[in-house]
Amino acid sequence: MKRNHVGLLGATSLVGSCILQQLVTEQWQITAFSRKPMESNREQINWVQLNQAGAKPVQNKYGPALWICVAPIWTLPEHFSLLLTHGAQRIVILSSTSRFSKTASSDSGEQAIAQRLTDAEETIEIWAKEHDIEWIILRPTLIYGLGSDKNISEMARFIIRFGFFPLLGPADGLRQPIHAKDVATACILALNTLNIKNRTYNLTGGETLTYQEMINRIFSALNKKPRFIRIPRWLFQLTISVLNWLPRYRHWTAAMAERMNRNLVFDSINLQQDLRFQPGSFILSKADLPLEQNRI
């Protein structure tokens, strides 16, 4: 198995961009796939454009045997033929702990996401077994970083825009946020640890803290004094319905507020031991804040 050439699906995503940077630093050759035409000023990166149905299945015996997929996991089956024609032998795939945390959500859309994650994992495991391809599935918790995530950065934008953050009840549910760079590191470690195969792992940050403390640190990173408004559930639902009219908050749901008081904690000790991986604590740098804050 050639170990210095890797195929990367989801290369333009937040985690994908972090993986690209690390792979270039480690002197890998990368075949990076994107649905949009891309250009690179680095000779180590070869960009390949995917069409909507997946890349054309052109036989390439010199293609990468090692793969990482950080595109939405339910899109990977679209590219099974691509992997086979390139002679894929091992693949690391990003899923999500939302498979578990959103199963019993009060929002039907979130339940559907949990089911899509579950179905995709099962489909991939069956396919990989049929074709004798080694696989590792990583399920990260709340991903943040570089001001372009859909979690912490969106909360920061809300605070910048409105000057406060709404809470439902004590907001004492536990969280384990993980930086996108740590997720990228874990993906590469999993790819390189060849004695580990056909496993699923939860991937958490190095610190467990309450939801309110997490928001406190966002205020601190923004150099703002924490300002919370605690509102009842019915008012939260009304507020969310109003915010949904704004494109940036269209994906916010009342179920998100309900989870403020639920522990979303997962055990990642097996991953940390098997990969000798230690994620960082929840620390927000200036680079992790939205661009609009950095211009202030």
Q: Answer yes or no: is 236 within a domain.
A: no
Percent above pLDDT 90 for the chain = 75
Mean pLDDT, the chain, whole residue set: 91
Mention every residue, 6+ apart, whose C-beta is less than 8 A from residue 240: 249, 252, 253, 254, 256, 257
Question: Residue 160 has what pLDDT?
Answer: 95
Number of domain units in the chain: 1
**Distance from C-alpha of 25 to C-alpha of 291, rounded to nearest angstrom:** 25
CATH number at residue 44: 3.40.50.720
How much is the pTM? 0.92
Q: Three-class SS of residue 51?
A: coil
Q: Answer yes or no: is 51 within a domain.
A: yes
Alpha helices in 86-221 (DSSP H): 98-101, 108-130, 152-162, 180-192, 211-221
Give per-residue pLDDT as tens, 171-215. Answer: 999 999 999 999 999 999 999 999 999 999 999 999 999 999 999
Handedness of CA 46, 49, 54, 57 (dihedral sign): negative
Q: Answer yes or no: is 44 within a domain.
A: yes
Question: Residue 53 has what pLDDT?
Answer: 46
- The pairing of beta strand 178-179 with beta strand 143-144: parallel
Give per-residue pLDDT as tens, 225-270. Answer: 999 999 888 888 888 888 778 777 777 777 888 899 999 999 999 9
DSSP β-bridge partners for residue 66: 6, 90
Two structure tokens written together for 120: 């995709």
Q: Answer yes or no: is 81 within a domain.
A: yes
Nearest to 85 by CA among 11, 43, 31: 31
The answer to whether 125 and 93 are in contact (CB under 8 A) is: no
Q: Answer yes or no: is 258 within a domain.
A: no
Question: Residue 255 has what pLDDT?
Answer: 82
Q: Answer yes or no: is 192 within a domain.
A: yes
Give per-residue pLDDT as tens, 5-32. Answer: 999 999 999 999 999 999 999 999 999 9
Q: Answer yes or no: is 185 within a domain.
A: yes
Q: Answer yes or no: is 105 within a domain.
A: yes
Q: Which domain holds residue 43?
A: 5-145+176-208+265-289
- The pairing of beta strand 209-210 with beta strand 174-175: antiparallel
Q: Please provide residue 12's backbone torsions phi and psi, each rounded to the nearest 5 degrees.
A: -95, 0
Residue 88 has pLDDT above 90, yes or no: yes
**Distance from C-alpha of 288 to C-alpha of 146, rounded to nearest angstrom:** 4
**Distance from C-alpha of 205 to C-alpha of 266, rounded to nearest angstrom:** 10
**Distance from C-alpha of 41 to C-alpha of 270, rounded to nearest angstrom:** 38
Integer Rg of the chain from CA: 20
